[in-house]
Amino acid sequence: MDWQAILSSLPSLGNGMAATLKLCAIAAFCSLFWGTLMATALMRAPPFWQRILRIYTSLTLALPLLIVIYLLYFVLPEYDITFTSPQVGVLALTLYYAPYIAQVIRSAVEALPRGQWEACRVLGLSRTEQLRDVVLPQTLPQMLSPLVGLMIGLIKDSALLSIVSVQEFMYAAKQAISDTYAPLEIYLTVALCYWVLNSLIDWLARHIEFRMTRYRRGMQH
């Protein structure tokens, strides 16, 4: 094991990891925002727009992320639509993961018993009060695990963006390998970093879910 190669590559790998975290944070926020809008539209929009969104969702579910990246980076410039590499990265991850998020949100909301919606109307609760006091407390614990799984998938899939020269973690790893000629050491370091990061996110999500569902366990005793 060439420890010197690892030590000499740590600064560039650290910069790459920082770039990955920034890019994934932006993509996660955008995909959550777009996914929430999609879920709302799938439940409340006119039938025409619902059909459009379902077509978009079916295409996303059928295509690999790599195809989406290539379409944005190589095909759109042929039609004078050009994005920078980081913009392609954020846009590709957002377009790809938003439909999955929309399905998670829609399924959780539609799983609420119809009687609860009728009770909200009888009590005269506004939309904001329904969302704050009835919907979110019951749906967030159900949505948390699948949403965290999607976010972990988003982080892992961000490694594909090195193909189009997005200077993220895997791009930095490739540069480090070309400098040190130590692929085993560099890739093991990268794998360990991804494992630590995603394990930390998973642990944090479990901790939040545990705190959010304490009232249920209290009712069982």
Contacts with 96 (C-beta within 8 Å, 6 or more apart), sequence order? 31, 60, 65, 68, 157
Total residues found in the chain within this entry:
221
Domain, as residue range, for 94: 3-218
Locate 2 and state its tokens: 């060439």
- CA 33, 36, 42, 44 dihedral sign is negative
Residue 137 has pLDDT above 90, yes or no: no
Q: What is the CATH number of the domain that holds 152?
A: 1.10.3720.10
Locate 86 and state its tokens: 């980081």
**Where is 182: in which H helix or E strand?**
none
Residue 217's pLDDT is 52
pLDDT band with cut points at 50, 70 and 90 for residue 167: confident
* Total domains, the chain: 1
Check: pTM over 0.85? Answer yes or no: yes
Residue 188's pLDDT is 94
